[in-house]
Amino acid sequence: MDEAEREPRVHPTAIVEDGASLGEGVRIGPHAVVGGDVTLGDGVVVGANAVVSGRTTIGALTRLFPGAIVGEPPQDFSHRGEATELAIGARCVLREHVTVHAGTVRGRGRTLVGDDAYFMVGSHVGHDCIVGDGVTLSNHVLVGGHVELGDRVLVGGGTAILQRARVGAHAFVSGLAGVTRDVVPYAYVTGRVAWVESLNLVGLKRRGFDRASVQTLREAYDILFASEGVFKDRQAALRERLGHEPVVRPILEFMDAAPNRPYMQSRRDARDAVAVDLLESGR
């Protein structure tokens, strides 16, 4: 990169407030707005009409497409204008009209997005969320406040994730789902009232999990989502029978971190299937 390329390039119609920190090679498009407490890493691109406000830090090579708005105050009635934060990692892509809000004082005080995220058109990440590396949100996904998304989670279009829910690493949530409970790592989740259908086999294959690991996870899911017994007993059985397996430990650690959370179940649990069928039929 020569000297000219290192200099930030700001369109004449853009507004960059005093105090903003712009890294080498930053590009800011027409009518974009960058606030005075914003830090943009090297090579960041802020598209036309995009807004970056508040105490926001954006990592190198991240790109905001036209109309994206990040760092605005949280949609939380407890917020009284306190100085909270948003941090977005490197090499992320935020497509048109994506919104990501800053944290709250009552929450973590900051919203965190990891590296290599891809947020498609119109998706929203609420206050105090923690989003891992490599997360993909399809068009118009709604992520409520305080949600945690593990690494490499993929969420299908039009899905809503209820506030404070957690979705474990490598899980896949299909489009138009309603996620109201925690989703264990590696799960494939589907349904308007979402439920665990199976392992996320396609995602595991793409990420290089070998045949033996996948088979072990199949066994783990058969134990955890069996049709008989209660969930806590099945959880104990999983720990006893497969707790020594490295690939199973993330599931157990995920549940141990929040033992009193409600966990999404499988339709193999007949009681859960009846509830889902009733809700989906409108009865």
Of 37, 128, 182, 272, catalytic: 128
Of 29, 89, 107, 145, the catalytic one is 145
Q: Which residue do the tokens 């960041």 mark?
A: 44
Q: What's the length of the chain?
A: 283
Catalytic residue status for 127: yes
Residue 133 known to be catalytic: no
For residue 164, the SS3 value is coil
Kindly state the helix (H) or strand (E) to which residue 240 belongs, with its residue range. Answer: helix 231-242
CA distances from 120 to 111, 181, 272 (A): 18, 23, 32
Q: Are strands 142-143 and 160-161 parallel, antiparallel or unpaired?
A: parallel
Label residues 160-169 b or e (16+ Cβ within 10 Å = b): bbeebbbbbb
Q: How far apart are CA 87 and CA 113, in angstroms?
A: 6
Active-site hit among 97, 101, 124, 127: 127
Using left for φ > 0, alpha for ψ between -120 and 50, and beta otherwise, residue 120 falls in beta
- Name the nearest CA neighbour of 238 among 250, 259, 249, 223: 223
3-state secondary structure 172-193: EECCCCEECCEECCCEEEECCE
Query: Which are the catalytic amino acids?
Result: 127-128, 145
